[in-house]
Amino acid sequence: MSAATLTVVGDSFVEGRGDPVEGGGFRGWVPRFAGQIGLRGNKVRNFGTHGATTTHVLDVQLPGAIATRSSLYGVVVGVNDLVSDYEQPRFEDNLHEIFDTLRTGGATVFTATYPDIPARLPVPEQFRELLRQRFTEANSALVDVTRSTGTLLLDIAASPQWSEGEMWTSDGLHPSSTGHREFAASAVELVYQTTATTLAA
C-alpha cells in the first residue's frame, strides 16, 4: 500500500483556511478526518490550495494526487468557479474528469455539495441571486456527476446546520473551526456508512 492512503484535492476549504493554528497556518478538516479514521500524518497528502478552481485541480493537483495511489480521495472544489469565471459545461466536465480519474483502480472518492455561501457574502442583492442560481445549478450537476462516477456525496447544502453563523468565519466564505470539525465528523460517517474498505493500514 502507498505511504499515502488518504489524498485530498481542492481549494481553501481543503487547505484548512478559517481554522488557524497557533504560530501560523491552518489545521482544517483534513487532519481531523484522518485522525478519526486512524491515519497518521505520513499516510495523508493534502493538495488544497487557496483560490483553486476545478481547472486548477484538474491541471495541477490531479497528477500528484494520482501518483499517491491512495485508497481514499477527498475532493472539495468549485466555489471559486462559481463566484468568478463560471461556465457550466466546463465546470461539469472538469468535475466528471476529476472524479472519474480518481476512481480508476477502485479507490473510494468523496465530495460535498455547496451550501448557501451567497447568503453571507457582502455583495449586491442582484449578484447574490445570480450566485444562488449558480450554486443551485452546480449542486444539481454534482448530484449527476457523483452518481455517474460512483463518488460519495456529502449533502451539506441540505443540512440546516450549515446555515448557522458559528459554522463560518466573518468573511462568510470559509468555514470556522467549528465548521471544519463538523465537516470532518460528517465525512467520516459518510465514508464508514457506505464502504466496507479498511482505510487504515
| CB proximity list for 146: less than 8 A, separation 6 or greater | 99, 111, 152, 153
Label residue 78 left, alpha or beta by phi (over 0 means left) and psi (-120 to 50 means alpha).
Answer: left
Map 162-197 to HEC letters: HHCHHHECCCCCCECHHHHHHHHHHHHHHHHHHCCC
Q: What is the pLDDT of residues 2-31, one digit of tens each?
A: 456 999 999 999 999 999 999 999 999 999
Q: Which domains does the chain have, with CATH numbers?
A: 6-192 (3.40.50.1110)
**What pLDDT score was predicted for residue 195?**
62
pLDDT for res 41: 83
What φ, ψ does residue 33 adopt, rounded to 5°? -60, -50
Dist CA 195 CA 190 (whole Å): 9
Place 152 in a pLDDT band, splitting at 50, 70 and 90.
very high
Its pTM stands at 0.93
**Contact, 109 vs 152, CB < 8 A?**
yes
pLDDT range class, residue 85, cuts 50, 70, 90: confident
Between CA 175 and CA 55 the distance in angstroms is 22
- Going by C-beta distance under 8 Å and a sequence separation of 6 or more, which residues neighbour residue 9? 47, 48, 57, 61, 62, 65, 73, 74, 75, 77, 98
